[in-house]
Structure formats: C-alpha cells, structure tokens
Amino acid sequence: MDCIFCKIIKGEIPCYKIYEDEFTLAFLDIANDLPGHTLVIPKKHVHNILDCPNSMLHHVMDSVKLISKHYVEDLGYDSVNLSNVNELVPHFHIHIYPRKKGDGFVLHEDAKNSGADMDKICKELKL
C-alpha cells in the first residue's frame, strides 16, 4: 500500500508528532496553513469514516478531544475547529485547527450560500 499516513505510522516518513497512543497518532499538518493544525489518524488503515469500525472511531475521537482540551485549557487557544476531508489522503483522519480570536484563518473560505431549498433538502436527508 502506498499510503503516506501508513508510512508515517511505520516511521518511514518523519512527522512532527504531537501525541501517540496504542490506537492513534497525531501530528502537525505539513500544509502549515495555521500554526498548530493537527491531524489525528488511526494507526490501522481505513479509507474513510464509512470504513471505520465504531471502536476505532471512538479511539480517534478520544484522541481528538484530549488534544483539543490540551490546546484550549493548557496552551491558551480560544477554541478548535474540526474537519474531516479525505480527498488528498485516503486514510481516515480528523483535522484539528487550534484557534485564537482574530487569527484571520477562514476554514471554509469558498463556502457560499447555494440557494438550495432547505425544506426540500431536509426532507431528502432526514433519517
């Protein structure tokens, strides 16, 4: 498998490690678009959240919460934003964006109102 995150887990590619436990690894995103932008990944390869067993998802989210609390409670960040975008690397991961008021970072800069019928969409998507 030619997965860059799997190579990072194996130590074949270096990373700026923030946290590691038996099930997860967290490291700085090399995009370096926001200081502290962190990726949290499961150590076992799964393509995306749909392939992720619930127990693995729990481990990932436990690590996300632990790191997020550390950033806010210990390091003075005001909040964190979370996202899951698997287009570039097909290995499930959660992005943590530590935020400070006035940092100027816009997470969804290209998001604009689609003008879609919200009632119709709600009816289509409702479980």
Active-site positions read 93
Cα separation, 86 vs 124, in Å, equals: 24
Cα separation, 67 vs 73, in Å, equals: 10
CA 122 to chain centre: 26
**Beta-carbon contacts of residue 86 (< 8 Å; ≥ 6 apart):** 47, 48, 92, 93
**Beta-carbon contacts of residue 96 (< 8 Å; ≥ 6 apart):** 26, 36, 37, 38, 39, 40, 64, 67, 68, 71, 80, 81, 82
Structure tokens at 35: 């200081």
